[in-house]
Structure 1
Amino acid sequence: MPAYELPTCPTCKQTDQVQKVTTLFASNTKEWKETSTGIDSWGNTVTTEHLRTAHTALGLKLKPPNEPAGPTHPGLWYGIGGLVMIFLCSILCPVALALAGAIAPLIGGLIGASTLLPDLAGIPAWLVTSLTFGLPTLCFGVAVLALFLWLGSKVRNRFGKDLKSYRENKLVFEQDEFPRWQRAKARWEQLHYCLRDESLFIPGENKIISIDEMETQLYKPV
């Protein structure tokens, strides 16, 4: 297999100090693994492995363009919000049921005692007592139900807007941002660096690229 022939530097017209950026970046980058030990919520000992990376000053400047992150589906955040609501309800519902259980016998006792009272303007006292306590309770229940329905409608409309925005952003990401990064990454893999002149170039383009402008030039259309 023939050896790879390094291209000539456009500045010094030599090849002895020219290196491919992918090779130079790898030699100026160090990766290692670290482990940490902790205790989880169940009291078990957990060992976690972390990948660490360090670069020299040159390696840091020659880093490839970062891969863009795609938009996050809104269902993830709404799902997390739903779990939080379920958690809160699991705490509040027992409290509400306990209060209702304590108040119900009192109301029942008052209604029962009112049967011994005389009628008010021809209306049985127990009926007056029942309406006095029952109507506010019924109105409160209807108000809470209406509030939940209103909130549900708002959340549904908001989710629809967020989903539409997500689809639009996803389309832009797939058709523009990600392909641009792929082209920039491909150009980065073609880069060569001359240690003598401290300059970058892509064979065939016949132009010098400043190391500080590398990323801009990678995304610049040829």
Structure 2
Amino acid sequence: MASADSTKPSCPVCNQSDQVKTMQAAYNSGVARCAPPDMPTRNVSMMKPITICGVFVGICLFLIITLIGGLENGFPQWAQLILLVITLVLIVTALAVSYWAFQRVVRGDNETIELFPAWDKATARWNSLYYCQRDDVVFDPKTNEQISNSQLVSLRVSATKAIKSEMQAATQH
């Protein structure tokens, strides 16, 4: 039975494999630059517009209950009608804003799902790399080349860059 060390590639700098780790093992041991690629996410907030609409509807409902509810106080009928119309408009507006906010979240989720193949590719590339603890070097065993810190950063944020480039392209159209 072969040991785990015999399956590790040798470092291109020191030509030894005793200090070679997978990128995951290096990251788990505290080497921050060996972090895995960032998973694409899209944070679309829908709470602010929905909360604002909810507050306005709540204020109108409170006014309806307190002003119209006590008809013995002689609240004018035309004012009651205006308050009722404003409340109905705000309720319909709140529903429309809720639908719009939900559609923004769904659109953001769909855009993120489209970026998963780029993230999968970056993760596969990251999984194929190794780290030599002795020489503090990240390398690709297939090509036996060292990977620079800038290449690691670009690999780590590749899906995030795709999000930013898509957003810039969308704003230019």
TM-score range, shorter chain: 0.5 to 0.7
Q: Deviations for 1:81-120, whole angstroms, at most 9, x for unmatched residues?
A: 39x649x56x9469826x964x826x5xxxxxxxxxxxxx
Alignment partner of 1:62 is 2:1: no
How many equivalent pairs are there?
Answer: 156
Kindly indicate whether residue 133 of structure 2 is the aligned counterpart of residue 170 of structure 1.
no
What's the CA shift for 1:199?
1.7
| 1:52-78 CA-partner distances (Å, limit 9, x unpaired) | xxxxxxx3332223333355584xx38
Using the TM superposition, give the Cα deviation of residue 211 of structure 1 relative to its aligned residue in structure 2, in angstroms. Answer: 3.4
- Residue number in structure 1 paired with 2:120: 182
- For 1:73 and 1:2, how far apart are their aligned partners in 2? 53
Determine which of 70, 84, 88 is the counterpart of 1:149: 88
Q: Secondary structure at 1:208's aligned position in 2?
A: strand
Q: Which AA in structure 1 matches 2:152?
A: M
Q: Give distance in 2, aligned partners of 1:141 and 1:23.
A: 70
8 A contact 1:18–1:193 mirrored in 2? yes
Percent of aligned pairs sharing the same letter: 24
Q: Which structure shows the bigger proportion of residues in strand conformation?
A: 1
CA distance in structure 1 between the aligned counterparts of 2:34 and 2:128, rounded to whole angstroms: 12
- The normalised TM-score by structure 1 is 0.53
Distance 1:218 1:10, change over 3 A: farther
What residue number does 1:31 align with?
A: none
TM-score for both structures, normalised by structure 2? 0.64
Any conservation in 2 of the 1:180–1:219 contact (CA below 8 Å)? no
2:72 matched to which residue of 1? 104
Unaligned runs of 5+ in 1: 29-58, 108-133
Q: Is the helix fraction higher in 1 or 2? A: 2
Contact between 1:209 and 1:217, CA under 8 Å: does it hold in 2?
Answer: no
Deviating above 4 A after TM superposition, structure 1's stretches of 4 or more consecutive aligned residues are 70-74, 91-95, 218-221
The residue identity in structure 2 corresponding to 1:161 is W
Task: Tell me: higher relative CO, structure 1 or 2? Use CA pairs within 8 A at least 6 residues apart.
Answer: 2
Root-mean-square deviation (CA, aligned residues, Å) is 3.9
Q: Is the 8 A contact 1:6 1:18 kept in 2?
A: yes
How far residue 26 of structure 1 moved from its aligned partner, in angstroms, is: 2.3
